[in-house]
Chain A
């Protein structure tokens, strides 16, 4: 019953040339790749081109030249801003890394009391707006209106301001405590998954607890620490809100605050703004490249498997110190700022003291009651627009993320590699840089001054976050699950609908809420791309802070914070505890 055993030699050349290239896979991945490429690359190319255009003195004409770059590195103001940016980023990276690593270690590896209750609080700053944090700390610790300074004065009679956050140190402090969770998230996962026998074997050689921690544990998670530190450095370099609120009004400009003044306002110069964005972008992209190429691939080698339950380190009496340290962090990063903002928001005028007899909800009416004629448009518009943008943006970005992930992991076409690359690029460029690119690209098109340009900026910058969420699940889910559905008779689309997407559901929800949160608090893209009528929540806060007063600003900040905190609770319900850890 056997047949042709001796196979005749078949002469078929390997598939080559343009004909064989036109497979369904290649065509579809290329089309999606092109759309993503246009969205990602065009703004960056426009940025490069515009940075070499020099505005003449009258401000009418441009010519090619390097003058913009000369201005940056030689002009007094911008050079100082560059140096300030470097100082802030470095300082914040150090502070956030120290905080993040120590807190992660306490939570993952020691018997610190109540650590399970503290863990979610350690992560809250990750979800909140650093800009709002800066506003809160301004009201807590600026020389004149700082609540802490005034309390110190009345309690201990200290006459000089005890704290002063209106300088570079203040910016480092606030960014440091707000970005510490980024490091925390990278490190805590690695620490939890670490094979405990690595530590145990060090202990058996006679190394003490501290020695083991510093010579074994921390070196093993160094890649994770470095990854976290780089992300913090890059995020800080692109941070606009904190220096804008705390230091810029007092003469400490940064590149981001300078980019902002060049993007909007009276002495706007998009070309110079583009050049400054280039400087920031080149540096951040370089660091992200290092993180992706060199550090991230190594971080997996430190862990030898899942499911270990490492023996916790008994800190003895010191555990209460660890506990106090963690509580201190939660206080300065979450509790104090929110309480302070809340009290400020209840005053008509803020003088640095709580005046119990004058508390009122009047500010909330001004910023929330959009139907009320006396409400402030920038604030009420901001709320409505931000919810529209967050809802629409998160939904569209997740659709893009699903398609891109699917292309990367389930089709092996040539476009898959390009897509993989394209979805890393936006991570390398801070929002304000990308926004500057989007601005110079689309300023002469009809989408400028509409919500669409904001939507475009948001999605382009942030879809990779959703994509990573989906990709990590898609890699864990065997392709055979899809294939068996095809074999059962289901078409590609039915398989997508009934098998692939249901399996990705937790990742889709988690990614969606994460993007919703990011979009709800987004400032640095919005501040460049908004115009009258398309303010967002954070732009509203900015507007109130600039043109109204601190109490009103605080009221809107509290409103934003409450919305974000609700999202945090939902996120934890949907995504589970480990969802964010790298």
Chain B
């Protein structure tokens, strides 16, 4: 399978002093796809990206682009960054202030000794794509954050690189512009069909833009998958906690019914319930696990329904229009519940919590 990948990273290790910033990670991405490295600050996303770019030299591992092994520590290969033909957009945009916009964009083409007429055509085309045609003669310092962003993108793709790397390119923009640029970036990437790797710690960004997401922490990969599966089927506590909101509580697998489903037992204050759930890979009967269920898959009502019974007390209820955002106290645990607004639950009421078994997960600790 990895032969089909356009970019393949294998067993990458990078030390800073004695710290393993990147701890033996492997992943791949097919041609034309958009991959996101997602994780909290300091988890090694930038370091991984820098290794792919060639700006950092890893201490072990291999990186291959197409058929070209750009890094292989074992074989003493580490191609210089300028030989890799990779475009990169930095967090600070890094628009050179001593050149105007079109000079910035033309720079990679000049380096490649292209004919002036072709340079002009390509620069105009790139500026057109990012919507900066009117700004060509402006100095970098006269651009707004969003415009600098576009210019940086134009500069990174104008030489038709094999790969486009983004290191948190939107984090310096304000919220509104950020949401707008997400869509815009994705559109441009799709339009030119370039294989891209995108680094962010913003899960919403990752979910909106990616074909594939890699969730990282402390230099490891926690989970790889499409936005939907990362959100709906997190495999461990870290991912389910990091992505979106989840009810997470400790439990134990009491049966494995095969086909990925089973039963998890959770207990609070001497009371325990057994809940049907979907098991994450590698969980067997008797294993410690976490129950993970999103608030929108939890319901609370005054009347008990079929199935396992969890009885608690409403301690918070906020009306959001289409639903009620409630907290239901069960022993020491507080369930986050998005209840139907017609239920009109009030603080202090006794309610029954019901989990949708198709969306109740048992995940690895």
Q: Is the interface on chain A under 10, 10 to 19, 20 to 34, or 35 or more residues?
A: 20 to 34
Report if B25 contacts A (CB, 8 A): yes
Q: Is the interface of A mostly helix, strand, loop or mixed?
A: loop
Give the distance in Å from the alpha carbon of A494 to the alpha carbon of B111 in the complex: 9
- Minimum CB–CB distance from B213 to chain A (whole Å) comes to 10
The one of A3, A7, A12, A481 in contact with B28, judged by C-beta atoms closer than 8 angstroms, is A3
Q: Is the CB of A12 within 8 A of B111?
A: no
The stretch that binds A, out of B78-86, B186-194, B201-209, B287-295, is B78-86
Report if B18 contacts A (CB, 8 A): yes
Q: Is the CB of A7 within 8 A of B25?
A: yes
Report if B212 contacts A (CB, 8 A): yes
The stretch that binds A, out of B37-45, B52-60, B339-347, is B52-60
Give the distance in Å from the alpha carbon of A484 to the alpha carbon of B169 in the complex: 13
Q: Is the CB of A3 within 8 A of B96?
A: no
The one of B15, B81, B165 in contact with A14, judged by C-beta atoms closer than 8 angstroms, is B15
Given A7-B11, A484-B88, A488-B107: A503 in contact with B221 (beta carbons within 8 A): no
- Inter-chain contacts of A498 with B (CB < 8 A): 107
Q: Is the CB of B98 within 8 A of A503?
A: yes
- 10 A-B residue pairings within 8 Å (CB atoms): A4-B2, A7-B23, A7-B25, A12-B60, A14-B15, A478-B94, A480-B90, A487-B55, A490-B82, A498-B107
Q: Is the CB of B60 within 8 A of A489?
A: no
**What 9 pairs between A and B have smallest CB-CB spacing?**
A10-B24, A488-B108, A480-B94, A2-B224, A480-B90, A487-B88, A12-B60, A486-B81, A484-B94
- Inter-chain contacts of B86 with A (CB < 8 A): 487
Report if B87 contacts A (CB, 8 A): yes
Q: Is the CB of A480 within 8 A of B92?
A: yes
- Minimum CB–CB distance from A475 to chain B (whole Å) comes to 14
Q: Is the interface on chain B under 10, 10 to 19, 20 to 34, or 35 or more residues?
A: 35 or more
Most buried by B among A8, A12, A490: A12
Q: Is the CB of A483 within 8 A of B55?
A: yes
Report if A566 contacts B (CB, 8 A): no
The one of A8, A12, A487, A499 in contact with B156, judged by C-beta atoms closer than 8 angstroms, is A487
Given A14-B15, A478-B92: A488 in contact with B98 (beta carbons within 8 A): no
Give the distance in Å from the alpha carbon of A486 to the alpha carbon of B85 in the complex: 10
Report if A204 contacts B (CB, 8 A): no
- Inter-chain contacts of B25 with A (CB < 8 A): 7
- Inter-chain contacts of A357 with B (CB < 8 A): none
The one of B17, B24, B81, B152 in contact with A7, judged by C-beta atoms closer than 8 angstroms, is B24
Give the distance in Å from the alpha carbon of A489 to the alpha carbon of B88 in the complex: 11
- Inter-chain contacts of B307 with A (CB < 8 A): none
Q: Is the CB of A4 within 8 A of B26?
A: yes
Q: Is the CB of A487 within 8 A of B53?
A: yes
Report if A485 contacts B (CB, 8 A): yes
- Inter-chain contacts of A486 with B (CB < 8 A): 54-55, 80-82
Residue in A closest to B98 when the chains form the complex, CB atoms: A502
Report if A15 contacts B (CB, 8 A): yes
- Inter-chain contacts of B98 with A (CB < 8 A): 502-503, 505
Report if B256 contacts A (CB, 8 A): no
Residue in B closest to A503 when the chains form the complex, CB atoms: B98
Give the distance in Å from the alpha carbon of A480 to the alpha carbon of B169 in the complex: 12
Which residues of chain A from 454 to 495 have any CB-CB distance to chain B below 8 Å in the complex?
A: 478, 480-481, 483-491, 494
- Minimum CB–CB distance from A483 to chain B (whole Å) comes to 5
- Over the window 223-265 of chain B, the binary record of Cβ atoms lying under 8 Å from chain A Cβ atoms (1 yes, 0 no) is 1110000000000000000000000000000000000000000
